[in-house]
A = this chain, B = another copy of it.
Amino acid sequence: MPSTIPTLTLEDARRLITAAETKAEAIGQPMCIAVVDAGGNLLAFERMTNAWIGSIDIAQKKAFTSRAFDITTKDLGANSQSGDQFFGIHASNGGRIMIFAGGLPIVMEGKVIGAIGVSGGSGEQDHAVAEAGLARL
């Protein structure tokens, strides 16, 4: 008999994005924000006015990466530099793996049920904006 897991809803995703945008506005850096579900598939995405168009892809890939390995992309990156145990991981999964800060898993009842990915500023800014989104959930 199949087991059950909690599911991330579109409504959840909207709240995450709104909270992240509020933080992005507060620091004055427009961002792209993406939310994926437990399967790593996109639920919702927004690009703020003047956010980089190159960030459209990166935000989505940070979200995917965080769910793909149940880890922040910041922590993954810290183990994926030349000489590290996961160096080269960014060549896997059809180029969908991002190894710099801005992607965070969404955890509920001890299970990763999705992830948020933010791109548009420095790694530190992206990570902070993603955290602000999670805080709302």
Contacts and interface: CB of A to CB of B under 8 A. Distances in A.
Contacts of A47: 10, 41-44
Contacts of A88: 77, 80, 90, 97-100
Number of copies: 4
Interface size on A, as a range, is: 35 or more
A2 to B, nearest CB: 4
Report whether over half of chain A's contact residues are helix, strand or loop; otherwise say mixed.
mixed
Nearest to A37: B39
Interface in A38-53: 38-49, 52-53
Interface string A10-54: 101110000000000000000000000111111111111100111
Interface in A74-112: 77, 80-83, 85-95, 97-101, 108
